[in-house]
Chains A and B, each alone.
Chain A
Amino acid sequence: MEPVGNLHPSTLSTRDLPWRVLWKREKCTLCGRCTAACPVRAIGLGVHRKRTMEVSVGLATKPSNLYQVYHGIDQVTDPARACIGCGLCTQVCPNGAIMALRSDEADKLRFHVNKGGEPRRRGGRRNDPGSVLDRIKFVRISMLTDPALDAGRHEFEVRTLLGRILSPEESLRAQRENLWIPPVREIYPLMVGGMSFGALSPNMWEGLQMGVAYLNEELGMPVRMCTGEGGCPPRLLRSRFLKYVILQIASGYFGWDEIIHALPEMKEDPCAIEIKYGQGAKPGDGGLLMWYKVNKLIAAIRGVPTGVSLPSPPTHQTKYSIEESVAKMIQSMCMAWGFRVPVYPKISATTTTLAVLNNLARNPYAAGLAIDGEDGGTGAAYNVSMNHMGHPIASNIRDAYLNLVKIGKQNEIPILAGGGVGKNGNLAANAAALIMLGASGIQAGKYIMQACGGCVGSEADRCNICNIGLCPKGITSQDPRIYRRLDPEDVAQRLVDVFVSFDAELKKILAPLGRSTSLPIGMADALGIDDRNAAERLGIRYVV
């Protein structure tokens, strides 16, 4: 037995870890693939001495010991290398000899992931499988008086608008007097939310862009993708595909030197500019790209040195007030593209959303407001921010929409909703619910990663190492040895599958509600929930 003196407070057994590696000696061929593939080196080759007692019957031969050595897989219990449950070992094992299983009780690891006083940081999202959106049902089904539509054969106009829309009176006056009419994009209501080049691997990013281009050019679905804060590859900036891209500018301004320099050479305007003031996963905190992922390519696009962490400030440092940060910044961005490109802010869902919204309502250049709820995902954030900060999206969207209704501007400022849409796989249902609560469009990021890249992260703290560049699937890695696992063509194919199936499901929701001529924004009379308080809060039906 080891001397007790070797134990220290952070000495854990495999039982104290969230994931335990189950290895079957009789199936293992000791090929070493699992240990080579494990992103966090949670397993290694173990060399064990084994003693066997040999006792023969009778007294003629004295009992003896047989000492043998055998080789196997050991799970490391060092908190820094604890198994993350990604399951890559299982995927690479030719014999099915190994798998990670969740421990049967709350782990003790959580008390020790702050070595050196550094709190836990991770990727992923809130680790809470609950979802109000999943509980919302569509209860207004068209029956005989108003026959339900045929989702498969009827024509549906599944489109939304992104851009400042003038009131009917102003619009007519502007046309009569030849005044400026703010740019408005007619787009698909589901868009790929901001995930930066840097947070995502080049292969993942390229795959998504290819998928978006295919959806637009081959299938006629005007799907848009936001860059997140990380700039945009120079070739894309100068290509005709830029029109499918929403360029994001955030507090670190990463990549904007490149973008501004590309301006004179752009063949197309981007779809829109998103000014990020906050994100749902870490409200009130800036973006974070940890040093592991800042390689030469990322550094070049972002205009920074390699190998340093890139934390964006929580606010735009050059601005000191809402007038500065919202009005002037929106106006500056509008001006950069000759007032031809919609510019809108993105904020974290918060109780102060209405203050921002009311400010935007008075700003003729504001093209919309994206609100990101607490269930939003991220490539890197402090665990405490992800788990405990933020506002649920459903009530925030509803409040924002009803506030616009009160001032009669519900059509003028489109609200985009994001943050945990489809967190449990119900993308179309969640999106439809948010639209009926008042959202004009939906931004989805994490779902896209899971469906198109095969991300294995879950709401139960599985994997979640997007921040350190070791993504087992190559989705969020910047190491070519890892991201070559992901074929961009496959990602593109999956993205197309996701959008086409989403479209079919959305129609399966719209058709029974009798809606096909326009997107049912604010059609809250169709919604019900089995919780009286939630129903009252959202202004929808209480159904049991």
Chain B
Amino acid sequence: MCRLFAITSEDALSPMVAIRALNAMKEGHDGSGVGLMLTDLGGELEQFRDFPILSGIFSQEGIKKLDRYMMEIGLLTKFKLSIRPSGKPPAGTPKRDAYLIRVYEYPYEWEGFSPAEIADRLMNIRVELRRLGEEDQSMVVFSFWPDTIMIKEVGDPMEVAQYLGLDNNGLRARVLLAQGRQNTNYAITLYACHPFFIQGYATMTNGENTAFVPNREYLMSRGFPGYMGYQSDSEVFAHILHYTKNTLGLGLPEYKHIITPLKDEELLRHPDASYLRNLKHACRFLTVDGPNCVIGCLPDKTLFMVQDSKKLRPGVIGGKKGRYAFSSEMCGLDEAIPDRDRKLEYQPMKYDVAYVDAARTEVQIWNQWETCIRPH
């Protein structure tokens, strides 16, 4: 089972906070991969908050391809913080030319575009770069989005982090999501590594979603170019979240109701029975079948955790005002925030959505039996 850790803090943190937490949970991952997402950036990159950042792994040839492609569109590099490791990679980690972190300046022609139009263009560029690099593995692209960095690699999290020098390269963020991978059903591929990201929405999951194929087919048939990839069954969680919020204009409560709807008999007793019944019917192919624990991040930097309705995967939230962590194991939480009030720890159950918003003042709990805040 994979190990998950996310933290939201009012002070920008080094990604090593998350890596150390994963290391504390080492028993649970087999070193087959690590995925890291940084958002609400601090440090040097904070000043470029509104500019898109490209994250990925590139060969020299890939960088040339990338430069040609970006030039054609008119996207110019504004700032670079790419990692070019010089030492010997740890066992199991391939030698790469560059872990790219590049801030781009929007083309002049994009001025006046709506945020939705810009969002779609950024996503389409990411998808196209991914496609162009797929054949020769010269470009592996994880995200192209403002205020977001993603690093993924095969290997043990701590060893990879040290190899990449994450402890002293100036990367800082107020929100970190990290996954230590236990490679199970799928071959080791970087695109199968969590967290998954699409237009500001990110999720990571442990467990297995056995409704993956119908979920995937449904998402792919929405005609949205970003619903692709699916090297991991967990990628659908990020895309369903995006679909719920972006396309349907609904909130986290509905996301929970879509992925794990109440049973027909339960709905009879719910104050929003009619609304939820229609939602359940309409989104039947987006119902997941876990066990899964999902940790995610919204564009407004809210971190959340939901459980599959079977509740077979661990997940705990704890912290103190200004800093909260979401962890699949208690020892990860202990490592990251040892001085928290343990009485305020929360382990979401099958009906809960637990979240901490960008104010980072408390863990908020919403339960599926409560009424939904409806869009009026």
A residues contacting B by CB (< 8 A) are: 140, 142, 145-147, 149, 154-155, 157, 159, 161, 165-172, 174-176, 181, 184, 186, 220, 405-408, 410-411, 513-518, 520-525
Contact = CB atoms under 8 A, between A and B. Distances in A.
B222 interface: yes
Nearest to B266: A157
Contacts of A159: 264
8 pairs of A and B residues whose beta carbons are closest in the complex? A146-B208, A408-B221, A514-B210, A171-B282, A145-B184, A518-B287, A168-B282, A522-B214
B259 to A, nearest CB: 9
Contacts of B283: 168, 411
B263 interface: yes
B291 A520 contact: no
Most-contacted residue by chain B among A161, A172, A513, A523 (CB, 10 A): A172
Contacts of B71: none
Contacts of B309: 517
Nearest to A157: B263
Contacts of B310: 149, 154, 516-517
15 contacts: A145-B208, A147-B312, A161-B284, A168-B279, A168-B283, A184-B281, A405-B218, A411-B282, A517-B261, A517-B290, A522-B213, A522-B285, A523-B211, A523-B214, A524-B213
A407 B284 contact: no
A517 B208 contact: no
Nearest to A165: B281
Nearest to B243: A168
A159 B267 CA distance: 14
A525 B1 contact: no
Contact of A515 (B211, B217, B248, B275): B211
Nearest to A140: B210
A169 B246 CA distance: 11
B247 interface: yes
Contacts of B327: none
Most-contacted residue by chain B among A155, A166, A171, A524 (CB, 10 A): A171
Contacts of A171: 278-279, 281-282
Contact of A142 (B208, B260, B275, B287): B208
A516 B281 contact: no
B282 A145 contact: no
Interface size class of B (residues with CB under 8 A): 35 or more
B346 to A, nearest CB: 23
Contacts of A523: 210-211, 213-214
B185 interface: yes
A146 B291 contact: yes
Contacts of B279: 168, 171-172
Contacts of A407: 221
Nearest to A171: B282
B225 to A, nearest CB: 14
A55 to B, nearest CB: 84
Interface in B276-302: 278-279, 281-285, 287-291
Most-contacted residue by chain A among B218, B221, B247, B284 (CB, 10 A): B284
A474 B258 CA distance: 49
B248 A169 contact: yes
B187 to A, nearest CB: 14
A405 B285 CA distance: 11
Contacts of A517: 211, 260-261, 287-290, 308-310
A43 to B, nearest CB: 54
A164 to B, nearest CB: 10
A254 to B, nearest CB: 33
The interface residues of chain A, by DSSP majority, are classed as loop
A145 B346 CA distance: 25
Nearest to B264: A186
A506 to B, nearest CB: 15
Contact of B208 (A166, A169, A175, A514): A514
A167 B279 CA distance: 9
B210 A142 contact: yes
B157 interface: no
A172 B375 CA distance: 10
A147 B184 CA distance: 13
B139 to A, nearest CB: 29
Contact of A181 (B211, B212, B278): B278
B373 to A, nearest CB: 14
Nearest to A525: B213
A408 B260 contact: no
B207 interface: yes
Contacts of B282: 165-168, 170-172, 411
Contact of A513 (B210, B222, B275): B210
B223 interface: yes
Most-contacted residue by chain B among A174, A184, A517 (CB, 10 A): A517
B45 to A, nearest CB: 36
Contacts of B263: 155, 157
Contacts of B249: 172
B210 A411 contact: no
Given A169-B247, A405-B217, A513-B210, A410 B285 contact: yes
Interface in B220-270: 221-223, 243, 247-250, 260-261, 263-265
Contacts of B212: 525
A411 B1 contact: no
A157 B264 contact: yes
A410 B281 contact: no
A395 B32 CA distance: 40
Nearest to B185: A145
Nearest to A522: B214
Contacts of B275: 175
Contacts of B211: 515, 517-518, 520, 523
Most-contacted residue by chain A among B208, B212, B281 (CB, 10 A): B281
Nearest to A182: B281
Interface in B170-224: 182, 184-185, 207-208, 210-214, 217-218, 221-223
B217 to A, nearest CB: 5
A175 B289 CA distance: 27
A170 B283 CA distance: 11
B183 to A, nearest CB: 10
A237 to B, nearest CB: 27
Nearest to B207: A146
B289 A411 contact: no
A166 B363 CA distance: 36
A461 B212 CA distance: 43
Contacts of A186: 264
Contacts of B375: 176
Contacts of B182: 145
A111 to B, nearest CB: 51
Given A147-B312, A516-B289, A521-B214, A406 B278 contact: no
Contact of A161 (B214, B222, B281): B281
Contacts of A169: 247-248
Contacts of A174: 278
Contacts of B265: 220
B221 A146 contact: no
A515 B289 contact: yes
B175 to A, nearest CB: 28
B60 to A, nearest CB: 37
